[in-house]
Structure 1
Amino acid sequence: MATPEPTTTHSNDAPIWSPPLPPAEGFEHLVVSTPGLRTHLAAIGEGEPVVMLHGFPQHWWQWHAIAPVVAEAGYRVLCPDLRGAGWTAADDLRIGRETRLRDLLAIFDALGIDRAHLVSHDMGAITALQLSYEHPLRVRTAVQLSVPPGFMAFSPKVMPGFRHLPAFIWHKPGASLRQTFAPPYVAHPMHEAAIEAHLAPMRRPEIDRAVRRLTRGMILPEAMRLARGAYRRRRLTVPTLIAVGRQDYPWAENLEHIARHPERHADHVELAYIDNAAHFVTDDNPSAVAELILDWLTRAT
């Protein structure tokens, strides 16, 4: 049986989305249909593609204050809702370690993207990391936010950085994730409207159930690979900027220690810190994140 050709449809009619999409000016909304998956994607601007991969429990709207700034500089910014998040719908609800990687490659092919700049945060950085190592010719440059490099050296000092995982592993359907957006993960109190925007898709049972599937099927297996040093035995060839918020405990205090001697593991890696920001850097200080991205796009190409 022939594989259906991927298709892309434009759908800016917000009322068709359930729940309604959060407000964000200047974006067009697409549905990219690939076998078994209908990916919602928000796009803005024209030029070289910059693909932004959201963290958890977030979606395309995470980039609503950053993507327009990058687009204004002459880029086509694409913000997909990855499987198990946002307004994307999947026929098969199972999620494995590389499921999102395969999804992303299918989206690239459907949109005719040979190579793209890659910006990622939190859980989205897992997929970005996999793409950079497994398919480096598809990535021009990478910016990785709030997550250590794949070649990190394990240290007991970073164990508190995984303190959030038990709640996700044993997430109960309907349980609130509001505390995810509270200290110590944010440097400044997040506005109620922003929390509601981030968590809106959790009202979809498919997305609520994906919390366990993502944690158990993708995060834990990849975390074990990091602990075993799987990426330390490989070389990263994609120019990559690793940036964390200065108030992101324990990563900010330990980043230079666990990522020491990057030249042994990568062709071009730099470390950076974002002031007035904790884990959710795109909410705490979006202007600084946008500036950091544009500077890297200029310097690393």
Structure 2
Amino acid sequence: MHEPRIIRSGDASTWSPPLPEASGFDHFTVETPGLRTHVATIGEGDPVVLLHGFPQHWWQWHAVAPVIAAAGYRAICPDLRGAGWTVADNPRIDRETRLRDVLALFDALEIERAHVVSHDMGAITAMQLTYDHPERVRTAVQLAVPPGFMKFSPKVVAGFRHLPPFIWHRPGASLRGTFSGAYVAHPMPEATIETYLAPLRRPDIDAAVCPLCRHMILPEAMRITRGTYRRRRLSVPTLVAFGRRDHPWAAQLQHICPDPGRYADRVEFAYLDDAAHFITDDAPTAVATLTLNWFNQAT
């Protein structure tokens, strides 16, 4: 069996494209069968694994992870398969590919249990982890994605309006519109948008957009719609947080999740007033504070 290896590189310029600047982070690659995962870490202490959204990567947490680290944790920010600076031997992606990747990363880094913070597409993998491997998760913070036991309502259809361009993504097509005013409370600086989109210049990352949406997001969305998670129980203490300006989700969350105690041991909802879907960019300090408070309350 192939043993995992950790390969360290302290020089950001050796990565292609060059890694964006973020003070205090250590960067290395974890080699597991068929995958070379880029990981950025900061701090020492109990592990907190942060799973980024789409079309983002580890740098999504550059203003959140240092606050978590300063509170005495080790913040671990991997680039998930099909994103950032991670390289996969096989382009095939199925519903649980990223889940298997994260479990392999936990084992390679000798993480028995971790707090897990996730956003957007990363929350799908985090949700799978909390349901299927609750023994590996101390607490969960899920950003901008409803819990798996949500009930579908026509009032949230507009919340999926962003998916068709991803499902039918053509090689080289721009994803810049993802960061439009419909998804942010404050205009995102051009330099920030470019930082998020830079890895998509790699053909393998660009080619992963369709498989991630067609073979991971859509099958999981169908499971949620069919009530798969309403027939299971969530045992991991989970905080679900939305920006108040994340339409239509923030306004409908209480309606599509009317009785969380029926499906989970402990789930709470939180809202940040001055934020939309890209909540970690709109309000990074508030997200970090909310996260740390949840760690303290739920453990």
Alignment TM-score > 0.5, same fold: yes
Cα distance between partner residues in 2 of 1:49 and 1:10? 19
Partner of 2:2, secondary structure, is: coil
Cα distance between partner residues in 2 of 1:249 and 1:82? 26
Tell me the equivalent position of 1:9: 7
Tell me the equivalent position of 2:161: 163
- The equivalent position to 1:255 in structure 2, one of 240, 253, 256, is 253
Partner of 2:288, secondary structure, is: helix
Structure 1 residue 210, shift from structure 2 partner:
0.5
Structure 1 residue 47, shift from structure 2 partner:
0.2
Cα distance between partner residues in 1 of 2:230 and 2:47? 29
Partner of 1:78, secondary structure, is: strand
Opposite residue 115 of structure 2, the aligned amino acid is H
Structure 1 residue 9, shift from structure 2 partner:
1.6
Aligned length: 299
Write the deviation string for residues 190-223 of structure 1: whole angstroms up to 9, x where unpaired.
0011101111100100000000010001000000
Tell me the equivalent position of 1:85: 83
Task: Give ranges in structure 1 of 5+ residues lacking alignment.
Answer: none
Give the CA RMSD over aligned residues. 0.5
Partner of 1:112, secondary structure, is: coil
2:66 matched to 1:68?
A: yes
Tell me the equivalent position of 1:278: 276
Opposite residue 290 of structure 2, the aligned amino acid is L
Tell me the equivalent position of 1:22: 20
Cα distance between partner residues in 2 of 1:242 and 1:171? 29
Tell me the equivalent position of 2:35: 37
Structure 1 residue 84, shift from structure 2 partner:
0.2
Q: Aligned runs of 1:286-301 on 2, under 5 Å?
A: 286-301=284-299
- The equivalent position to 1:240 in structure 2, one of 232, 238, 241, is 238
Task: Give ranges in structure 2 of 5+ residues lacking alignment.
Answer: none
Tell me the percent identity.
71
Cα distance between partner residues in 1 of 2:194 and 2:162? 20
- The equivalent position to 1:101 in structure 2, one of 99, 102, 114, is 99
Partner of 1:282, secondary structure, is: helix
Opposite residue 150 of structure 2, the aligned amino acid is M
Structure 1 residue 274, shift from structure 2 partner:
1.1
Cα distance between partner residues in 2 of 1:100 and 1:240? 20
TM-score under structure 2 normalisation? Answer: 0.99
Opposite residue 266 of structure 2, the aligned amino acid is H
Partner of 1:120, secondary structure, is: strand
